[in-house]
Amino acid sequence: MKSLVSVRDLSKEQVKNILDLARSFKGGERAVVEGSVALLFFEPSTRTRISFEKACRELGLDTFNILGDNSSIVKGESFFDTLKTFEALGFKGVVFRVPFVLFPYEDLVKDLNLSLINAGDGTHQHPTQGLIDVFTALEAYGDLKGRKVLYVGDISHSRVFRSGVYLFSIFGAKVSVCGPRTLIPRDIGALGVKEVFDSVDEGIEWADLVIWLRLQRERQRENFIPSERSYFEQFGLTKERHKKLRGFFMHPGPVNREVDIAGEILYSEKSLVLEQVKNGLFVRMAVLRWCLE
Ligand code: CP
């Protein structure tokens, strides 16, 4: 039994094992994993929650949903005591999405006799989304060594970026970012990013793959941009910029049309957005199998 709270705990070998497993599930292989899993979602989600639930069903796991205000956390119970409750009830794993950063987490994991799987914690990590993005990029490009990957948008508040930058780097890709300076973390160099583009047009010219991110309004405590309209003009994927892309583009979703990406080209031939969603099922099946076996 293993936990997955941060991708930074995974070696390249372990990432490859998970992605190989996802590939075999996508190819039609099936596996049975016994036990019960709780899906504890304290933040809204469409694709992560539903694909985790579908993945559990595909593997034959008993699945229980605990959403938002329906848990005793609203009565003051701590997150740790909630997890101990699931442990006492014999759950094998808990998939969690929470608005806070779960760090440090090593002691918490050690004190639990169940598998903890992170489906997004605050601005910290979104391991399965990072794995999906690398899996999808590997399918599209074959090899990522030396490939140039550009993340555009709200880098500061993005847990998807923090998981992705590590995973793309271990496959040898060069990761750069672009966005308003107000939304670029001060410690961006420490995260493994060598270059920050102020101009998305220059970034697009540099990149083989561009990943647009949503403005994480729910995590922004102040106004970081003058308006969504000016943001789209400066950093969004417009129809004109779309013509200049020499590779594919991705977005982890949910997309804000005409803020991140022009609606008209969201599902164009250069888009991997729906491939990311499809791959979500297989990557989450692989993570569940890897953690729970
Ligand atoms: N990418 C992602 O986490 O989407 P949801 O919020 O819909 O789960």
Record the pTM: 0.97
Domains 7-126+277-292 and 142-272 share a fold: yes
Among 9-13, 83-87, 224-228, 236-240, the range scoring the smallest mean pLDDT is 224-228
Residue 18 is predicted with a pLDDT of 98
Give the domain 7-126+277-292 fold.
Answer: Rossmann fold (3.40.50)
Among 15-19, 73-77, 131-135, 154-158, the range scoring the smallest mean pLDDT is 73-77
Residue whose CA lies nearest to ligand 1 atom number 3: 48
pLDDT digits (tens, 9 = 90+) for 194-203: 899 999 999 9
Mean pLDDT calculated for residue range 139-163: 97
Residue 224 is predicted with a pLDDT of 81
Mean pLDDT of the chain: 96
DSSP states of 178-246 = ES-GGGS-TTGGGGT---EES-HHHHHHH-SEEEE----GGG-SS--SS-HHHHHHHHSB-HHHHHH-S
Instruction: Report phi then psi at 120, rounded to 5.
Output: 120, 115
pLDDT at 217 over 80: no
| Dist. CA 219 → ligand 1 center (Å) | 14
Residue whose CA lies nearest to ligand 1 atom number 5: 45
Residue 86 is predicted with a pLDDT of 97
Residue 36 is predicted with a pLDDT of 98
Helix, strand or coil, per DSSP, at residue 66: strand
Atom from ligand 1 closest to the CA of residue 44: 6
| Dist. CA 48 → ligand 1 center (Å) | 5
pLDDT at 131 over 90: yes
Atom from ligand 1 closest to the CA of residue 120: 3
Tell me which residue of 88, 95, 98 sits closest to 64, measured CA to CA.
95
| Residue predicted with more confidence, 218 or 280 | 280
Percentage of residues of the chain with pLDDT beyond 90: 92
Residue 68 is predicted with a pLDDT of 79
| Dist. CA 43 → ligand 1 center (Å) | 10
Q: Find the residues whose C-beta lies inside 6 A of ligand 1.
A: 45-48, 120, 129, 252-254
| Dist. CA 136 → ligand 1 center (Å) | 16
Give the domain 142-272 fold.
Answer: Rossmann fold (3.40.50)
pLDDT at 220 over 80: no
Pick from 95, 98, 129, 154 the residue to mutate for probing ligand 1's pocket: most ligand atoms within 8 Å of its CB.
Answer: 129
Residue 13 is predicted with a pLDDT of 98
Mean pLDDT calculated for residue range 30-34: 96
Q: How confident is residue 218, by pLDDT bands cut at 50, 70 and 90?
A: confident
Mean pLDDT calculated for residue range 58-65: 97
| Dist. CA 95 → ligand 1 center (Å) | 14
Record the tokens describing residue 26, joined without a space: 């996508």
| Dist. CA 51 → ligand 1 center (Å) | 10
pLDDT at 112 over 90: yes
Contact partners, residue 165, CB within 8 Å, separation at least 6: 151, 175, 191, 192, 193
pLDDT digits (tens, 9 = 90+) for 169-216: 999 999 999 999 999 999 999 998 989 999 999 999 999 999 999 997
pLDDT at 271 over 80: yes
Please state the domain extents for the chain: 7-126+277-292, 142-272
